[in-house]
């Protein structure tokens, strides 16, 4: 098996946006493949749905034109690290689509050849639930409070009105 065959196995195990329906339900999380030049070369139907795009708008586009990840506005971007250092990574981030902002766990895995050069990067987006985010925010504030840092307040950004009420009450209680 050649290096190119190995890479194709990775690509074909993810239903391609260009009409490969085989195994469509196999992976229900959004997955995008980019080349080392940041161009989107493949994605699964879940990615098309998540970003509300047709395959002709996504395939061939630069990743940064389609996917705006809050973590990738600085030099510590895990996508850049995957390309430059062949290093996998994950982070909590907010993905901005055409219509909305979506809190996610964002993970990248570089696909390297035998010379350890990055041929592609696989991008995975795991949507974070409101309940998980609320629990994380309350835990963050509680841990700061327990540590004696009374200046920390809960952020209400990216929450629905019900969760905002809970966090606003928490902030009022601290004051």
User: Are 106 and 91 contained in the same domain?
Assistant: yes
User: Are 146 and 87 contained in the same domain?
Assistant: no
User: Are 36 and 71 contained in the same domain?
Assistant: yes
CA distances from 5 to 2, 8, 10, 57 (A): 5, 5, 9, 27
Domain of residue 92: give its range.
3-127
Give the integer Cα–Cα distance in Å for 69 and 12.
26
Split into its structural domains, the chain has a count of: 2
User: Are 116 and 38 contained in the same domain?
Assistant: yes
Per-residue pLDDT of the chain (175 residues; tens, 9 = 90+): 344 444 333 333 344 444 444 544 456 889 999 998 889 999 998 898 888 888 888 899 998 888 877 666 666 788 888 888 888 988 888 888 777 788 888 899 999 888 888 999 999 998 887 778 788 888 888 888 888 888 999 888 877 788 888 888 888 888 7
Question: pTM for the complete prediction?
Answer: 0.66
User: Are 149 and 71 contained in the same domain?
Assistant: no
């Amino acid at each position: 098996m050649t290096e190119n065959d190995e890479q194709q196995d990775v690509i074909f195990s993810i239903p391609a946006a260009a009409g490969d329906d085989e195994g469509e339900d196999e992976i229900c999380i959004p997955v995008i493949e980019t080349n080392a030049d940041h161009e989107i070369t493949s994605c699964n139907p879940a990615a098309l749905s998540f970003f509300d795009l047709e395959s002709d708008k996504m395939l061939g586009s630069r990743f940064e034109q389609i996917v705006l990840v809050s973590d990738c506005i600085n030099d510590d971007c895990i996508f850049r690290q995957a390309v430059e250092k062949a290093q996998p990574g994950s982070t909590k981030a907010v993905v901005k689509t055409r219509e909305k902002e979506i809190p996610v766990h964002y993970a990248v895995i570089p696909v390297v050849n035998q010379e350890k050069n990055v041929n592609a990067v696989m991008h995975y987006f795991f949507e974070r639930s409101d309940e998980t985010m609320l629990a994380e925010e309350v835990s963050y504030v509680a841990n700061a409070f327990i540590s004696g840092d009374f200046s920390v307040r809960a952020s209400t950004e990216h929450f629905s009105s019900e969760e905002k009420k809970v966090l606003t009450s928490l902030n009022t209680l601290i004051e």
